[in-house]
Amino acid sequence: MDIYEAIRSRRDVRKFRPDPIADDVLKRILDAAHHAPSVGFSQPWRFLLIRNQETRQAVRRLFDEANESARDVYTGERRALYDTFKLEGILESPLNLCVLCDRRTQEPTLGAQSIPETVVFSTCLAIQNLWLAARAEGVGIGWVSILEPEALSSLFELPDGVEIVAYLCVGYPEAFLERPLLEQVGWRPRQPLEDIVFEEHFDPKR
Ligand SMILES: Cc1cc2nc3c(=O)[nH]c(=O)nc-3n(C[C@H](O)[C@H](O)[C@H](O)COP(=O)(O)O)c2cc1C
């Protein structure tokens, strides 16, 4: 699969088949993530693989709690539509993957003095590599952000300085949709490219 095809056909996946991912496939995907760029070559990403069913049930409960308040911000038709969404695949996917950013350092990270968040940005780039490599392997990824990070951190007993960046569900999808689900059901359209590109000056009215 070429890079543009992987970018275009990558989807956030919430419905998974139970088939496990072979070790060599998983290793290639993680290795692609590990080859992302990082500020000062800090390689701050850490990958916590979670297969244990009890742990996943605990995460699923945290999702339910967080989703109770997340849905409350919508009313009327938007709320009704929100309630039709499946926003996670924590229990059905064969693997959960918690992507961490290790911010503990022996010495200051080259390039991160002015913008310390660049270590977190680097971790996000690893996630994007992982997401695209997974797509090329026919593996789906679903990002679950409806989780209280502090609750998740204490569940995994993370030390100070190690932050959760993403909680991902990983597995073979029922299907890769042609278009994002949220676009397909009319939640939000994709913005035209010309609306988001500026020449020389940012236009605050756009
Ligand atoms: C940072 C981030 C957090 C997300 N959190 C969730 C989530 O909690 N639940 C969910 O169903 N999708 C989540 N998504 C998926 C987005 O809804 C999805 O990427 C977007 O609608 C575009 O669809 P596509 O990824 O299929 O192209 C998240 C995506 C990103 C990048």
Global confidence as pTM: 0.97
**Can you tell me which residue has the tokens 């009319």?**
186
- Of all protein residues, whose CA lies closest to atom 28 belonging to ligand 1? 143
Which structure tokens are listed for 188? 């939000």
For ligand 1, pick from 7, 12, 185 the residue to mutate: most ligand atoms within 8 Å of CB: 12
Domains of the chain, residue spans: 3-196
Contact status, residue 184 vs residue 177, Cβ threshold 8 Å:
yes
In the chain (206 residues long), the average pLDDT of successive 10-residue segments reads: 96 97 98 98 98 98 97 96 97 98 94 97 98 98 98 98 98 97 98 97 93
pLDDT of residue 1: 83
The CA 106 to ligand 1 mean position distance, Å, reads 34
Find out if CATH 3.40.50.1860 is the number for domain 3-196.
no
